A and B are shown apart, each in its own frame.
Chain A
C-alpha cells in the first residue's frame, strides 16, 4: 500500500518568513495530493490540492509543487502570519481504486509555529 513520509515534524518561523513542508510517497499510481490544516480542537480543513497532471498550484500565499519523477510534493507558505500556526497534513491517493473507494493515506503531520 501507499506510504507517505512528511518532514519536518515541527517547524518554527518568524512572522513574515516562508515555511516549507515536504512529503514523499511510495506508490507511483498516486495522482491526487491534498494538504490539510488542523487548528487546535478542530477537524482537518482542506486548504489546497494538486493533481498529477499539474506541477505547481498557487492560491494567494500558499503553493504546492509536485515532482512525480522523484515522488515528492511540497507545501509553501509565504509571508507567514500568526494565524498560520497549526498542524499541517499531506496526503496521497490513487483516485478511484476500483474497490469502491478513493482512499487517502496521510503523513504524520507538521506542527507549524509562527512567532510574532
Chain B
C-alpha cells in the first residue's frame, strides 16, 4: 500500500464549526488531491496540489480551503461546516512523472456534521 495516512479517521462535529482534515504521505509524491465520496456521486475532486504552496480548485471546491506547507502534508479545511459537507473524504497522491496519472488513495475520513 502507498504510504498515505489520514487523520482523523472519524469525526462528528456541529454546524458552523471549523474542521481540518490531514493527509500525510511518505512517498515524496508531487501531487496530492482531496476527494469527497457520496452515494450516487462517486468520487468528486475538491482541491489538488501540484507542489508546496501550489494548489488549485476542483469540481466541488465551494466551502473548502486547502494548504500545503510541506511535501508530505496536505490539509483540507472546512471554515464553517454545514450538513451538506457530511461525507467520506479521501486523499490521493501521484508522482506526476510522465504523461499519465496513477493516483493512490488513503483510507478515508468519515465526517458527520450535525
Residues of A at under 8 Å CB distance from B?
1, 6, 31-32, 34, 36, 42-46, 49, 51, 89, 93, 95-96, 99-104, 106-109
Contacts and interface: CB of A to CB of B under 8 A. Distances in A.
B114 interface: no
Given A36-B105, A42-B108, A93-B101, 19 more contacts: A1-B59, A6-B42, A32-B101, A42-B107, A43-B90, A43-B106, A43-B107, A43-B108, A49-B100, A89-B42, A89-B43, A99-B56, A100-B50, A101-B50, A102-B94, A102-B101, A103-B48, A103-B58, A103-B101
B56 A104 contact: no
A104 B4 CA distance: 19
Given A44-B43, A89-B43, A102 B96 contact: yes
B30 to A, nearest CB: 10
A109 B88 CA distance: 15
B40 A46 contact: no
How extensive is the interface on chain B, given as a class?
20 to 34
Interface in B28-64: 31, 40-45, 48, 50, 54, 56, 58-59
Nearest to A36: B105
7 contacts: A49-B102, A89-B42, A95-B100, A96-B101, A99-B56, A100-B54, A106-B42
A43 B105 contact: yes
Interface of B: 4, 31, 40-45, 48, 50, 54, 56, 58-59, 90, 94, 96, 99-108
Contacts of B108: 42-43
Contacts, number: 66
Q: Which 4 A-B pairs have the closest CB atoms?
A: A102-B101, A43-B105, A108-B42, A100-B50
B31 A102 contact: yes
Contacts of B101: 32, 93, 95-96, 102-104
Contacts of A32: 99-101
The winner among B31, B59, B101 for most chain A CB atoms within 10 A is B101
Given A100-B56, A103-B48, A103-B58, A46 B102 contact: yes
The winner among A36, A43, A51 for most chain B CB atoms within 10 A is A43
